[in-house]
Structure 1
């Protein structure tokens, strides 16, 4: 069992502390601070037991703790759900000295950050991600948002959490396929910035993806550190932070096409293979690195292809991607491992050729 606790800091405008380890619920009062009196814990039905235990702990510590149960996965990221949370805050007289806790996967932490960032133009938010995706990506960096009929995460605010607690004990009941789906974001960090991630996965993927192993904790720490460094340098996504969207342009379009019934990591895995093929066709990425994408993602039981018939619809959705500028599609591609760059304005024929390499 992993027992050590690691702290990683995001600096600058997005200043926050990410704590990684086990048994971290005991650190919640310290994370909230002495000024907080009321706490709203936003959680899903599957996390109700953990949320109830946390509420009881906070009440014993003298806080007024309330629960807000929201739908699972992307169904939580709707304006109606955010409005439900705001209604609770208003009816219970939440002030700027009170706090919100997001306890759940990436969708819950996105929602909680958005709710907290908008209420009174910003209240304290503490995030406790209970999925691999949440720990290494969604809960870190202050990008919050909800979905709309037009696309994913098009409505949101930049609102950094004051603290993120990544407690591996919350992963013990997580289904194996959920853990593997979350590893797509870990792999992404390996390809854009940290080759050690890829090496650990290639040595023994079963051990590396076991939440009780030292290798698992090392991978989470490496992925969190990658994101923390990027966000510290570019909180508002004006330049360097775009590299964190490797695989996401097509990935988000697939999620939209599947009406958000697919897990984020599953769609991003396909998106990374596409980005690798695009980098090969449009630049310097070697066939060897493209093959490495395929072998690592396949070892994690993640998909590598998507329907050939969906291309035109996906292209239309990608035109609304947040990275698009003046109607010009922009993709994160690689020239080599840890050498990402932006490919802007690629010819649609080239985009289609890359898609042909991953379609079925």
Structure 2
């Protein structure tokens, strides 16, 4: 996600950019500096030696070379960067255009302070400001949002932009599904707007709101009000909390309730809760009437970052977790960041395991971004949470869109999960899913080291980030873990498949690793474990 700051020369883009970036743990890209790096001379020298048109070509080239990334980047553009239509089109491909606007006096003062950056500035600053504002009016007006800087301090401008992103605009991520497309909407306060969004998607009639008691006490009334506000008829169906919800008997009770309440294909199921509620409600939605609509309102970081996205649904049976299920894409996922404020610290850390996984699957920029924003996430900062949830959601959405039924590339999302699921089950679910996946990622990286697929430098990077998220990196794996590993649902012809890292952003599937190597990796994970 790129945020391009545009506006007249001297309006304050360079001073706003780093402060805005800190709100999200983002990096800053200075367009002029990138031009100078490529040209191997100052911007002023490029214009003097080769002309303004050559400078504009370099500017366009630098924009074209920016790579899409789930990480957040704040781009400090030059005053003329948005002049070319192609430049603005490229900015929109990569993110949002945020305009800064000021009075003639404000722009005059800014230009007077920056005249030395450009050659041939022989006209008075006020005349230059008047000319720039007139000639570039159309380009500057073509922004996704514009903020006035007159009378505002730099921190105030940055806070206003951050607040708009977190609470007004938010982030929308589209997911291509096997049956239908899905949208993930991430912003603070979206809980109150679920009804209008579902109505826009064509939901009508009766809607079943599936939740558990604790979540219901906090959020059920807001959701039912929102649904009723657009003429939908919500009925509430209560299920047990946690893994206790994911039982066949609970699913059967829901099927009976849906039939009794007259829920049809014009309405659907809204799952309000964590991953277990979402798994159960999605499975019931996939099977009732051979499939009805489902929407998710995840209330944990783990569900926002992973479980609610992608259409995997499941219940547990005695033989193992998630062994009975279906693929059933939700119409929408509504991730309201404000609900994370009440999440216990252990649950928040558990969700961070999936965010760390996504960052390592993505690229170095995403890992660096998470590192910068981690403390903010743990203290409930909404900007840091928006960036973290977006990273995970974008990574998962991109992979699921290419492989909605886990026939190929989607298996990358199982990094850390083969051993993680086994450890979680063998512990009797005393460790959380995120804690188990954290250990599973360390195990997979140790396995990659032993197979000489990755550098020994990778695991310390992973472990450092996990420790900062207050997640475990060591555990004595119970002997029962091996029987659960062998039951892994991703096995083919009795052979286990492991998703192992080669480096950040590059992973491989490895089949049929020998038992000696598997146990050696377990010893590494168990070393110094309590």
Which bin holds the TM-score, normalised by the shorter protein?
over 0.9
User: Aligned pair 1:43/2:211, yes or no?
Assistant: yes
In the other structure, the counterpart of 1:323 is: 490
Q: Which one of 202, 209, 231 corresponds to residue 371 of structure 2?
A: 202
1: distance between equivalents of 2:300 and 2:287? 24
Q: Shift of residue 76 of structure 1?
A: 1.3
Asked whether the 8 Å contact 1:276–1:290 carries over to 2, the reply is: yes
Q: Which one of 324, 336, 344 corresponds to residue 167 of structure 1?
A: 336
In the other structure, the counterpart of 1:90 is: 259
Q: Shift of residue 26 of structure 1?
A: 3.2
Asked whether the 8 Å contact 2:203–2:268 carries over to 1, the reply is: no
1: distance between equivalents of 2:207 and 2:229? 13
Asked whether the 8 Å contact 2:435–2:471 carries over to 1, the reply is: yes
1: distance between equivalents of 2:356 and 2:312? 20
Bigger drift between 189-198 and 53-62 goes to: 53-62
2: distance between equivalents of 1:271 and 1:127? 27
2: distance between equivalents of 1:233 and 1:12? 9
In the other structure, the counterpart of 2:243 is: 74
User: Aligned pair 1:239/2:408, yes or no?
Assistant: yes
Asked whether the 8 Å contact 1:200–1:215 carries over to 2, the reply is: no
2: distance between equivalents of 1:317 and 1:12? 30
Q: Which one of 122, 134, 137 corresponds to residue 303 of structure 2?
A: 134
Q: Shift of residue 208 of structure 1?
A: 3.7
1: distance between equivalents of 2:203 and 2:465? 47
Asked whether the 8 Å contact 2:177–2:329 carries over to 1, the reply is: no
Asked whether the 8 Å contact 2:176–2:404 carries over to 1, the reply is: no
- Cα displacement string for residues 286-341 of structure 1 (whole angstroms, at most 9, x for unaligned residues): 11111111111111111112225x13x21111111111011101111011111111
2: distance between equivalents of 1:35 and 1:350? 52
Over 3 Å counting, the alpha-carbon distance change for 1:56 and 1:215 in structure 2 is: closer
2: distance between equivalents of 1:350 and 1:97? 53
1: distance between equivalents of 2:270 and 2:263? 13
In the other structure, the counterpart of 2:79 is: none
In the other structure, the counterpart of 2:525 is: 358
2: distance between equivalents of 1:327 and 1:35? 44
Secondary structure of 1:71 counterpart: coil
User: Aligned pair 1:285/2:454, yes or no?
Assistant: yes
In the other structure, the counterpart of 1:147 is: 316
User: Aligned pair 1:217/2:386, yes or no?
Assistant: yes
Larger RCO, structures 1/2 (Cα 8 Å, 6+ apart): 1
Asked whether the 8 Å contact 1:210–1:216 carries over to 2, the reply is: no
The runs of 5 or more residues in structure 1 that have no matched partner are none
In the other structure, the counterpart of 1:18 is: 184
Bigger drift between 208-217 and 265-274 goes to: 208-217
CA-based RMSD of the aligned residues comes to 1.5
- Cα displacement string for residues 26-54 of structure 1 (whole angstroms, at most 9, x for unaligned residues): 33223322542111111111111211332
2: distance between equivalents of 1:93 and 1:261? 39
Secondary structure of 1:321 counterpart: coil
2: distance between equivalents of 1:250 and 1:69? 32
Over 3 Å counting, the alpha-carbon distance change for 1:356 and 1:31 in structure 2 is: same
2: distance between equivalents of 1:254 and 1:15? 34
Q: Shift of residue 201 of structure 1?
A: 3.1
Larger Rg: 2
User: Aligned pair 1:7/2:175, yes or no?
Assistant: no
In the other structure, the counterpart of 1:31 is: 197
Paired residues, what number? 358
Asked whether the 8 Å contact 2:196–2:227 carries over to 1, the reply is: no
2: distance between equivalents of 1:119 and 1:194? 40
In the other structure, the counterpart of 2:397 is: 228
In the other structure, the counterpart of 1:275 is: 444
In the other structure, the counterpart of 1:344 is: 511
1: distance between equivalents of 2:431 and 2:239? 18
- Cα displacement string for residues 149-172 of structure 1 (whole angstroms, at most 9, x for unaligned residues): 111111000000001111112212
Where does structure 1 differ by over 3 angstroms across 4 or more consecutive aligned residues?
Answer: 208-211
In the other structure, the counterpart of 1:334 is: 501
- Cα displacement string for residues 62-102 of structure 1 (whole angstroms, at most 9, x for unaligned residues): 22211111111211111111112111101112211121000
Bigger drift between 212-221 and 71-80 goes to: 212-221
Over 3 Å counting, the alpha-carbon distance change for 1:248 and 1:351 in structure 2 is: same
Secondary structure of 1:357 counterpart: helix
1: distance between equivalents of 2:268 and 2:429? 29
Asked whether the 8 Å contact 1:41–1:102 carries over to 2, the reply is: yes
Over 3 Å counting, the alpha-carbon distance change for 1:254 and 1:66 in structure 2 is: same
Bigger drift between 260-269 and 347-356 goes to: 260-269
